[in-house]
Amino acid sequence: MNTTETKEGTIIEIFVKPNSQKFEVTIEGEEIAIRCTEEPTKSKVNKELTKELTKLFRAKVELVSGTASRQKRLLIKNRRKKEVDQLLLKENALKV
């Protein structure tokens, strides 16, 4: 998984798949893929991502880069890499 700990929290690199039937976090090899229900217009996907990931991590989530791209980097504020990795793995295991 592409996660990096910083002094502000942990940055995750994700690949977004818009227009899905449900919001879902999956780990495909080393890539974190997130299926969003929204369409990629007017930042709808970005808003859904930050809202849903804030719930998952119980921490503020900020888009660092990739505003108009499917490849994005998000900062999970005040969360250590280990915590983020565990939550991502747990969320992924629930989908299998």
Q: Give the tens place of pLDDT for each residue, 12-62.
A: 999 999 999 999 999 988 899 999 999 988 899 999 999 999 999 999 999
Radius of gyration of the chain (CA): 12
- What burial letters (b/e) apply to 18-56, b meaning 16+ CB within 10 Å? beeeebbbbbeeeebbbbbebebeeeebbebbbebbeeb
**pLDDT range class, residue 94, cuts 50, 70, 90:** low
Q: What is the per-residue pLDDT for 95?
A: 60
Q: Which domain holds residue 57?
A: 3-95
User: pTM for the whole thing?
Assistant: 0.91
For the chain, where are the alpha helices, taking DSSP H only?
A: 44-57, 81-95
* Number of structural domains the chain divides into: 1
CATH of residue 24: 3.30.1200.10
